[in-house]
Amino acid sequence: MKKPIFTLAITALIAGTVITGCESSAKKVKDAENKVEQTKLDAAEAKINLNQQKEDSINEYKQFKKESEEKIADQEKSITEFKARIAKEKKENRAQYETKLAKLEQKNTDLKKRLDDYKYEGKDKWIAFKKEFKHDLDELGQAFKDFTIKNVK
């Protein structure tokens, strides 16, 4: 009598393990499917964010380029005005002013070329380029102001 009860108990234990194991596999499959779906959603969201960041960077570059081109154009106008003023100066002063103005004009042309030749290579490089370019542009603007002050004296 002990043997049939023991056999029945073992059979029930094995059946319980199999049933529990099957449910666990089904649950694991369902969990895995949910994780795959969530990963797909996360990837799609990351792609949207990346595209938005690229678009923002492009818009920021266009705005920066437009502003810089305006400053460069203003400096080109100043160069033309300075050339007209220099033509009225005495000969000994004229050569000195023309040399300084030629240097400023070359720097202005170089800045314009750098701006036109820039290619986006990542956010870090863009930030570095923007900072350096803005510094150089401001420095050139200050040189034009200094040149004007020297002409007025």
- Would you state the pLDDT for residue 150? 52
Does pTM surpass 0.75? no
- Would you state the pLDDT for residue 50? 83
Total domain count, the chain: 1
Give the pLDDT mean for 7-35. 75
* Residue range of the domain that includes 37: 2-152
- Would you state the pLDDT for residue 152? 43
For the purposes of burial, counting CB atoms within 10 Å of the CB of 111, is it exposed (0-12), middle (13-18) or buried (19 or more)?
buried
- Would you state the pLDDT for residue 89? 76
Least confident of 14-18, 103-107, 114-118, 128-132: 14-18
Least confident of 32-41, 53-62, 107-116, 134-143: 53-62
Q: Alpha-carbon distance 67 to 51, whole Å?
A: 24
Read off the pLDDT band of 135 (50, 70, 90).
Answer: very high
Contact 72, 111 (CB under 8 A): yes
